[in-house]
């Protein structure tokens, strides 16, 4: 988003008419539209085939096609997996202002006046929305071709859509984005319809439903937590449309134990798109206690919220919204309202708030954020609760729209929100000053490619091979200390260390003070030449310097036959500051054409790097902590270079080197 500063003036000029054809064109400019359109057709054919064979088996086995459940939820047969009928069910239950969304709205303390102006959300649900409701009128359109269920089972869909966009004629039913519009769909063919909607610039969709289980309709145990074909297909959609983020309810089986073979008792309850890598899965938190400044005082999980994680121990659910006792629009009349609870209500609370953050991005920068940025921002700034750090019940914590918005507006000064590219075999580093008050936190987030294989039979039960395709890594480094990201150690415990499973990593340094270097690297070989990722840093006063280095594998180097070994733990990633002490670093002879000797007055050299004048690394060498180092520079072409040395006490010195 760095670049976007250049077009702030333009951004302001277009804010009153955004999500125009030009906006859509901008979102989809890197999309392969013919491919997405073809995929949409393929997914439609797949869904129709699955549904047709399910209908045949339903007739043979006497399975119901639709079910009105005693708790008011609605289920519909969609396919058969492993001989079991698979139903989509609404995730009934209750949302509110716990997510600090009110700070963003018109009249809110942040002064951002975000109400969803010219923003559109997409809602898939178990029936139609009552578009004539006084809170919604004129702002709901149907996205799928006329469907019988538009006329029925619309209580849930109407409630969910109201939570996102209700106007607030009845104040306590006011939605998150009172001026936004919604395109709503029946859940039949959701995958195909979502794929098609990405070509129209879809940014966010809400899915308050999932595969339902009940004692009378058991699903195979292996499906729980499994990355199956459905999980993969939704990742496929999001990978190919990187501005699109799917928000899904975790489900309301927190107190049920339908899975007889869970990763841990009371866990391992997620299925389908709730197991996808790129979706944002929402747990249900009770009403939070928030002070006047938007600070979280206390919050508890609703114990009906479904627990993760995934079989490969990815952190799911991702985040918590407020879905307990949510008052919203109801279907019975145009002035009807109802209070409901559940992850079904927590998801639209999150979706609506994220829509406002996209609106804010457009207002600030003239561009929308990539889905990975939005998702990363939401998880990075969430208020941690339940056990310390992320967990398989509450995810990264309770969504904090206020903190997310502040991270966006502070970009470049008190925070970094940056959409970056990591080249193959490259690492990025940035040195920052901690603000000395709040924790220093740094995250990376990316949209990960669908893996080649999935879990598809009972033999794949709890199969835990990482489904991650591109493994990026973030660290925070200060002197000899390296701070690692969170990860799950088991279904019920978290810890710090190298994370090889999640497409989001966050490192926290509590009681931070002074200067830190943040590094972003990758393992293996990136799938494309360049990997897009989002970097988010908070708790800083100002970035000091940044740069790139070649990765620590000299075998992968090209065009530099003399590349030196550059792996010594994390110490290689160091900044090149302009803080060279007077005569601290001397080099001789200078100019030179063959060998140069470096001498350090104070401290010992642990690494040195040579950069071209435009900042490109041409050589890096690790030194075994010495005050003097010799460097062969005979391969360098004539010109001016910068030599930087990193010392064992964390200092960096740089000097110009002339090659003759």
**Residues interacting with Ca ion, by CB under 5 A?**
144, 185-186, 188-189, 224-225, 268, 311, 384, 386, 391, 462, 471, 473, 499
- The first and second tokens of residue 480, run together, are 């000899």
Structure letter (DSSP) for residue 581: P
Beta bridge partners of 542: 433
Specify the residue, 391 or 418, whose C-beta has the smaller distance to Ca ion.
391
Alpha carbons 417 and 432: distance in angstroms, whole number: 13
Nearer to Ca ion, 87 or 224 (CB): 224
CB-nearer residue toward Ca ion: 384 or 456: 384
Residue 178 or 499 with smaller CB distance to Ca ion: 499
**Is the CB of 257 or the CB of 583 nearer to Ca ion?**
257
Catalytic residue flag (residue 434)? no
CB 166 within 8 A of CB 179: no
Question: Least CB distance from residue 605 to Ca ion, whole Å?
Answer: 29
Q: Which is nearer to Ca ion, 160 or 585 (CB)?
A: 160
Q: 579-587: which pairs have CB atoms within 8 A and are 24 or more residues apart?
A: 579/651, 579/652, 579/653, 580/653, 580/654, 580/655, 581/651, 581/653, 584/653, 585/643, 585/645, 585/653, 585/654, 585/655, 586/655, 587/643, 587/655, 587/657
Q: CB 453: neighbour CB atoms within 10 A?
A: 11
Tell me if 279 sits within 8 A of 231, measured CB to CB. no
Torsion 567-573-578-581 (CA) sign:
negative
In the annotation, is 156 catalytic? yes
How near is the Cβ of 161 to Ca ion at its closest, in Å?
15
344 classed as catalytic: yes
Comparing CB distances to Ca ion, the nearer of 337 and 446 is 446
Structure tokens of 660? 């003759």
In whole angstroms, how close is the CB of 7 to Ca ion at the nearest point?
33
In contact, 48 and 70? CB cutoff 8 Å: no
Contact 164, 123 (CB under 8 A): yes
**Whose CA is closest to 79, among 95, 58, 60?**
58
Phi/psi of residue 442, nearest 5 degrees: -135, 135
DSSP H helical ranges for 453-554: none
Which of the following is catalytic: 122, 156, 207, 522? 156
* Per annotation, catalytic residue among 89, 91, 205, 344: 344
Least distance to Ca ion from the beta carbon of 473, Å?
Answer: 4
Instruction: Please spell the DSSP secondary structure of 317-386, one letter per residue.
Output: S-EEEEBSSEEEE-SSSTT-EEEE-SHHHHHHHHHHHHHHHHHHHHHHHSSPPPHHHHHHHHHHHSBP-S
User: Helices 343-365 and 371-381 meet at what angle, rounded to 10?
Assistant: 110
Nearer to Ca ion, 188 or 349 (CB): 188
Q: 56-75 b/e with 16+ CB inside 10 Å = b? A: ebeeeeebeeebeeeeebbb
Catalytic one of 125, 311, 383, 448: 125
* Least distance between Ca ion and beta carbon 314 (Å): 11
| 84-90 β-sheet, strand order | 66-68, 74-81, 84-90, 209-212
Which residue, judged by CB position, is nearest to Ca ion in the bound state?
225
CB 345 within 8 A of CB 326: yes
Tell me how far, at minimum, the Cβ of 511 lies from Ca ion, in Å: 19
Residues classed as catalytic:
125, 156, 344
């Amino acid at each position: 988003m760095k670049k976007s500063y250049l077009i702030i003036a333009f951004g302001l000029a277009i804010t009153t008419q955004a999500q125009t054809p030009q906006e859509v064109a901008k979102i989809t400019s890197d999309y392969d539209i013919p491919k997405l359109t073809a995929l949409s057709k393929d997914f439609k054919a797949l869904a129709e085939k699955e549904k047709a064979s399910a209908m045949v088996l339903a007739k043979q086995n006497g399975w119901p096609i639709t079910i009105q459940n005693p708790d008011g939820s609605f289920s519909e047969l969609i396919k058969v997996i492993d001989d079991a009928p698979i139903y989509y069910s609404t995730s009934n239950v209750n949302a509110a202002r716990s997510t600090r969304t009110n700070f963003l709205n018109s009249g809110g303390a942040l002064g951002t006046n975000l109400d969803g102006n010219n923003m559109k959300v997409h809602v898939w649900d178990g029936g139609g929305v009552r578009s004539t409701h006084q809170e919604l009128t004129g702002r709901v359109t149907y996205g799928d071709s006329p469907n019988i269920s538009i006329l029925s089972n619309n209580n849930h869909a109407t409630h969910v859509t109201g939570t996102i966009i209700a106007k607030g004629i009845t104040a306590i039913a006011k939605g998150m984005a009172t001026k936004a519009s919604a395109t709503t769909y029946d859940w039949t063919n959701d995958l195909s319809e979502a794929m098609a909607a990405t070509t129209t610039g879809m940014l966010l969709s809400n899915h308050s439903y999932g595969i339902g289980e009940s004692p009378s309709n058991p699903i195979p145990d292996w499906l729980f937590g499994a990355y199956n074909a459905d999980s993969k297909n939704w990742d496929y959609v999001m990978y190919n449309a990187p501005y699109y983020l799917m928000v899904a309810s975790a489900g309301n089986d927190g107190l049920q134990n339908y899975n007889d073979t869970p990763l841990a008792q009371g866990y391992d309850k997620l299925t389908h798109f709730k197991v996808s890598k790129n979706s944002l899965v929402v747990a249900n938190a009770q009403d939070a206690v928030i002070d006047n400044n938007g600070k979280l005082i206390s919050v508890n999980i609703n114990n009906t919220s479904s627990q993760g994680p995934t079989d490969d121990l990815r952190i799911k659910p991702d985040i918590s919204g407020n879905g307990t006792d949510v008052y919203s629009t109801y279907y019975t009349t145009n002035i009807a309202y109802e209070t409901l609870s559940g992850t079904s209500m927590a998801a639209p609370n999150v979706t609506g708030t994220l829509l406002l953050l996209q609106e804010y991005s457009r207002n600030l920068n003239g561009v929308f954020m990539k889905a990975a940025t939005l998702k990363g921002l939401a998880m990075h700034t969430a208020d941690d609760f339940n056990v310390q750090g992320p967990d398989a019940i509450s995810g990264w914590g309770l969504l904090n729209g206020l903190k997310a918005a502040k991270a966006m507006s502070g970009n470049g000064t008190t925070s970094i929100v940056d959409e970056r590219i990591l080249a193959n075999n490259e690492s990025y580093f940035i040195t920052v000053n901690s603000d000395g008050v709040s924790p220093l936190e740094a995250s990376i987030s990316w949209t990960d490619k669908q893996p080649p294989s999935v879990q598809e039979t009972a033999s794949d039960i709890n199969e835990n091979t990482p489904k991650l395709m591109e493994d990026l890594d973030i660290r925070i480094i200060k002197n000899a200390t390296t701070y690692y990201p969170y990860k799950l150690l088991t279904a019920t415990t978290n810890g710090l260390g190298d994370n090889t499973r999640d497409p989001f990593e966050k490192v926290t340094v509590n009681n931070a003070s002074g200067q830190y270097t943040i590094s972003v690297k990758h393992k293996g070989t990136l799938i494309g030449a360049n990997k897009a990722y989002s970097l988010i840093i908070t708790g800083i006063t100002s970035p000091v310097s940044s740069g790139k280095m070649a990765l620590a594998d000299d075998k992968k180097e090209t065009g530099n036959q003399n590349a030196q070994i550059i792996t010594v733990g994390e110490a290689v990633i160091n900044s090149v500051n302009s803080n060279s002490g007077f005569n601290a670093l001397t080099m001789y002879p200078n100019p030179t054409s063959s060998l140069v000797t470096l001498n350090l007055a104070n401290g010992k050299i642990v690494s040195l790097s040579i950069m071209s004048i435009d900042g490109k690394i041409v050589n890096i060498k690790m030194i075994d902590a010495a005050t003097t180092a010799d460097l062969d520079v005979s391969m360098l072409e004539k010109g001016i270079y910068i030599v930087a040395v990193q010392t064992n006490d964390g200092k960096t010195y740089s000097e110009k080197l002339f090659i003759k």
